[in-house]
Structure 1
Amino acid sequence: MSQVAENLRGFLARVESTKYKTGEDHLGKEFQEIKNRAAAFRQDSNYSTEIGGCQENLKKNRYKDILPFDETRVPVTLLAEETGSDYINASFIQGVDKQPRYIATQGPLSQTVVDFWRMIWQYNVKVIVMACREVEQGKRKCERYWPLDQETVQYGAFTVSAVSKDIVNPEVVFRNLRVMFQEEVRDVGHFQYIAWPDRGIPDSYACFLEMIQLVRQHQGQHKAPMCVHCSAGCGRTGVICTVEYIQCLLHKQTVPSDFSIFELVMEMRRQRPSAVQTKEQYDFLYHAITEMFEKQLKENHNYENLKLNKVPFYDDVASLRVPKRTQTHNRRKDPNLCVSLPPTQSDMNNTYAVVNKKPAAQRAPPGSKTLDTRSPISSHVQYDNVRPCSTLSMPVDSLYSAVVPKSNRTSTCVTPSNTKSISSSYSLAGNSTPPDVASIEYSQVNVPSTAKSLDGYEIVTDPSKGRMPATISGGIGFNCRIGKPKGPREPPAEWSR
């Protein structure tokens, strides 16, 4: 078990231990402690908000009580000489690598839309995450700063075009925006969560976590910060930044043993005022992180089982495997095997022979005549469909047509005493060494229907002989005959009425 998995289980165990304590709102007490500590920031000079609160910048703030800290604010110097100010209500928030990972900002006002695009272009932002609607409960929460479908809008010196729009899930919309400034063009991804009420929580954990995953994938290895905003840029924005931060910890396998959502939210609030603004949002954060950790542990468990068992994780992969033949029977020693001659190495490479043992009910009774398994030709003859015969009248042409050219064949019949004729006939074909007759594949030997016997045994035409019983399983064997198709039949007499 990895250390990270142990840390995840430790966190889940701590959450479970406080979840069912009767008469005690553990999360409520934690969030109240966060608010109390954050209120003390106002008395600390390190958390000054003088720049955002000065007279010339007050009109750029959507809410007068949500101002960025001077130490973490985002200065916008691009085209500052034309606007006369580098201020925007936005704050840097560090990521896992202690570098600015997020720009937490308010929803743009009508007079700050150009400032918003100045900030996006100056910091080379690739992903924008919007956690609100333009109008909520009859109040304007954010000015629309993007064009409608297949539209191009000019925002100051920036030309923004809507390239595409996709519905990721019932609660998330993705837009691909193309921004042009001074002949340079960049693509910006825009995620909007449309089902998150102000000061409330999303309707679905799954849709929310899917959006966070897509945001991280779209950001990729891009070093510039992503822009996250809602209406005030604190409550819903803080939840998104916190969850994406924890997802980065999971991706980098750096979740500490003392992992604490309380401390993480406090760190967010040291960089952006009122990040994770309500107790409901704090509770939602706990549930979302718990679900994320449980999913990660399940994936780790499946991966560990895959490494331990060394079998494919997907069931359908097993059907692609070809089993290796690791065990062979000694056919010369087993009297119950239908085929007694072991195949050569070349035969094994070319064909697979299905060998079945004869059932006890069909074994020949003692004293009955059996096939001489030492005969080089007998391995190609049905065991139950032969009986002794004095002569064999099958031409050599039909026996080894795949070996000897037709012009060099003889009409000598095969008997136990004239196998030399086969050797001499084979020599006429230009070969120095006669073939082993037993190695000739049965499919290459064309036995005419007029042949009465083979190697001293007569072929019995009774189709009931030598068939494998239907109860025998494990392959078709050599005792299975396929009858000749009977062809079309006349329709029943009832059809002609």
Structure 2
Amino acid sequence: MSQVAENLRGFLARVEGAKYKVGEDTLTKEFQEIRNRSAAFKQDNDYSTEAGGSQENLKKNRYKDILPYDQTRVPVTFLAEEIGSDYINASFIKGVDNQPRYIATQGPLSHTLVDFWRMIWQYQVKVIVMACREVEQGKKKCERYWPLDEEPVLHGPFAVSTVAKVKVNPEVVFRNLKVTFQEETREVGHFQYIAWPDRGIPDSYSCFLEMIKLVRQHQGQHSTPMCVHCSAGCGRTGVICTVEYIQTLLHKQKVPSDFSIFEVVMEMRRQRPSAIQTKEQYDFLYHAVTEMFEKQLNDLNHNYENLKQNKTPYYDDVAPQLKTSHAMAVYRKNEHSARTSLSLEGSDMNDMYAKVQKKPPPPSSSLSLPTTTENQSPTSSHHQYDNFRPRPIISKPAEQLYSTVPPKPNRSSVRPVSSSYAVIDTSGPPEATSKELSQGTIPSAAIKKTLSIDNMRVNNRWSQNIASNYTVISECHARSLDEYEDVTDPAKSRPPTEGIGFNCRIGKPKGPRDPPPEWIR
């Protein structure tokens, strides 16, 4: 379907193949390689931690071994002249567009709450993701920086209040915070994952992926970074940043053919130390990404089937060109329907109808075909067919004459026929029994005699219609079928009231009785 789908399938195939390597734990080897390479960063001058390790800033770190790199640390210059320092234990992590997408930071300490809100205000953060509780296993993991009720809480010059609180799922809570500095007020969305133990993994992949999706939706098109933190700002924080990064790759259809979680994690660790801290978290990352890719492929297949059936796709991430082709198909279908309706009901079509037809249509609000009731005689049919002469009877075998029903004549497709019509004699008709007539075994001599009602003593009403509707043709002239005889001519032997209608060459039986088997065969 697309190159992105092929890349996703390729990654899933590699992951599936790694499971069947006997005696080899691929993920364990990968994570050990990540730790080995990360340890080598300390020997590189590009990964220094002088700012975090300085004597004046050591007290601002929750853990002494988790310090931000100087090259990626977040400087807080807002109100720095009053506070006296621009340091906070936080690191920038780039997103898909190679711009700072995340601020990975530690959980605020009691004496760094003002620094935390200075950072949020300076970088105009719209979303905060918290991956821990305030207290875990009896230890303080993060200072609460929001109020429990609507009453605002002051953190230095910042007034913070909770506008609303919603439980997204059993493991995620969302709060809408309002932050006021002087006379300016901003709203900040706060997601807290309450079921993620320290150095562990969440209990549910679905709840976790749902939170990541909501975070991206809440962030929207804002170019400002989102703030992600746990207690140390590395293990759980690294998992969230990595999964959100990969989900953005999916959304923008930028998953490369050589996509590797190993390389993504290594890139995270180059910007934030110890990102994804344990082997268990690395396993969780693989499972979460695999589930996300499988769901994306299912959505692509579902959208493809909808487009094949000329249906609207259910998901907003469908490629624009597919939506355009679907819209054009619907437009052409509606255009065809509009033209058909116009040809039947439009005034322009009525004008053209009046020019083409020899006679104007009867005055009515809608076009309809002439109808005839069951009790109507052939002479009371539509006036346009009153003067039509029936098609002459051509000499045929009796089986063909009585066992088949000839089609109605079509004036637009008739052709001149030969004048060699059979002459039916009227002298002394032989006797024809009802059995011979119904079975189609009438002698050939009988066909040349008069078919009168007296000689056709048959109980079949279908035979009576034949006898009453067919006249004796005494002579035959060479003429085309387009020339019709006026059956109402007084010179004819049959009275005008018994004129023949257009459809009465072989009458269809009327009444409850069924036609003979030869007629319906």
TM range (shorter): 0.5 to 0.7
What root-mean-square deviation, in Å, do the aligned CA atoms of Structure 1 and Structure 2 show? 2.8
Cα distance in 2 for partners of 1:348, 1:95 equals: 66
Residue 251 of structure 1 aligns with an amino acid whose one-letter code is H
Give the equivalent residue in structure 2 for 1:113. 113
Corresponding residue SS for 1:286: helix
**CA shift in 2, pair 1:186/1:345, >3 Å:** farther
Residue 377 of structure 2 aligns with an amino acid whose one-letter code is D
Cα distance in 1 for partners of 2:104, 2:379 equals: 90
**CA shift in 2, pair 1:370/1:107, >3 Å:** same
Question: 1:370, CA displacement in angstroms?
Answer: 5.5
Give the equivalent residue in structure 1 for 2:450. none
Give the equivalent residue in structure 1 for 2:2. 2
Residue 199 of structure 1 aligns with an amino acid whose one-letter code is R
Give the equivalent residue in structure 2 for 1:201. 201
Q: 1:347 aligns with which of 360, 366, 389?
A: 366
Residue 56 of structure 2 aligns with an amino acid whose one-letter code is E
Cα distance in 2 for partners of 1:343, 1:199 equals: 88
1:65-80 alignment runs, 5 A limit: 65-80=65-80
Give the equivalent residue in structure 1 for 2:190. 190
Corresponding residue SS for 1:191: strand
Q: Deviations over 1:265-320 (max 9, x none)?
A: 00000000000000010000000000111111111111112222324568xxxxxx
Give the equivalent residue in structure 2 for 1:284. 284
**CA shift in 2, pair 1:244/1:375, >3 Å:** farther
- Unaligned runs of 5+ residues in structure 2 are 315-332, 341-360, 383-495, 497-510, 513-521
Q: Deviations over 1:143-189 (max 9, x none)?
A: 00011132210000000111000010000000000001021110000
Give the equivalent residue in structure 1 for 2:272. 272
Question: 1:218, CA displacement in angstroms?
Answer: 0.4
**CA shift in 2, pair 1:153/1:345, >3 Å:** farther
Give the equivalent residue in structure 2 for 1:46. 46
Cα distance in 1 for partners of 2:67, 2:253 equals: 34
1:299-338 alignment runs, 5 A limit: 299-311=299-311
* Aligned 8 A contact 1:149 1:164 in 2: no
1:25 corresponds to 2:25: yes
Corresponding residue SS for 2:366: helix
Cα distance in 2 for partners of 1:215, 1:81 equals: 34
Cα distance in 2 for partners of 1:17, 1:291 equals: 16
**CA shift in 2, pair 1:82/1:14, >3 Å:** same
Give the equivalent residue in structure 1 for 2:133. 133
> Percent same amino acid among aligned pairs?
76
1:372 corresponds to 2:377: yes
- Unaligned runs of 5+ residues in structure 1 are 315-320, 327-341, 356-368, 378-416, 418-464, 467-497
Q: Deviations over 1:55-105 (max 9, x none)?
A: 110000000000000000000011111211100000000000000000000
Question: 1:243, CA displacement in angstroms?
Answer: 0.5
* Aligned 8 A contact 1:52 1:87 in 2: yes
**CA shift in 2, pair 1:343/1:275, >3 Å:** farther
Cα distance in 2 for partners of 1:182, 1:15 equals: 53
Residue 196 of structure 1 aligns with an amino acid whose one-letter code is W
1:263 corresponds to 2:263: yes
* Aligned 8 A contact 2:307 2:313 in 1: no
Corresponding residue SS for 1:347: coil
Give the equivalent residue in structure 2 for 1:144. 144
Corresponding residue SS for 1:215: helix
1:430-445 alignment runs, 5 A limit: none
1:193-272 alignment runs, 5 A limit: 193-272=193-272
Corresponding residue SS for 2:257: coil
Q: Deviations over 1:187-211 (max 9, x none)?
A: 0000000000000000101000000
Cα distance in 2 for partners of 1:345, 1:204 equals: 70
Q: Deviations over 1:355-408 (max 9, x none)?
A: 9xxxxxxxxxxxxx964367469xxxxxxxxxxxxxxxxxxxxxxxxxxxxxxx
Give the equivalent residue in structure 1 for 2:507. none
Give the equivalent residue in structure 1 for 2:499. none
Cα distance in 2 for partners of 1:374, 1:120 equals: 96
Cα distance in 2 for partners of 1:158, 1:82 equals: 14
Corresponding residue SS for 2:164: strand
Give the equivalent residue in structure 2 for 1:170. 170
Give the equivalent residue in structure 1 for 2:401. none
Give the equivalent residue in structure 1 for 2:428. none
Give the equivalent residue in structure 2 for 1:473. none
Corresponding residue SS for 1:34: helix
**CA shift in 2, pair 1:255/1:343, >3 Å:** farther
Give the equivalent residue in structure 1 for 2:406. none
Instruction: Output the TM-score relative to the length of structure 1.
Output: 0.65
* Aligned 8 A contact 2:134 2:143 in 1: yes
Residue 240 of structure 1 aligns with an amino acid whose one-letter code is I
Alignment length, in residue pairs?
344
Residue 214 of structure 2 aligns with an amino acid whose one-letter code is L
Cα distance in 2 for partners of 1:19, 1:84 equals: 54
**CA shift in 2, pair 1:53/1:345, >3 Å:** farther
Residue 204 of structure 1 aligns with an amino acid whose one-letter code is S
* Aligned 8 A contact 1:149 1:165 in 2: no
**CA shift in 2, pair 1:23/1:345, >3 Å:** farther
Cα distance in 2 for partners of 1:81, 1:374 equals: 111
**CA shift in 2, pair 1:53/1:375, >3 Å:** farther
**CA shift in 2, pair 1:345/1:293, >3 Å:** farther
Residue 184 of structure 2 aligns with an amino acid whose one-letter code is E
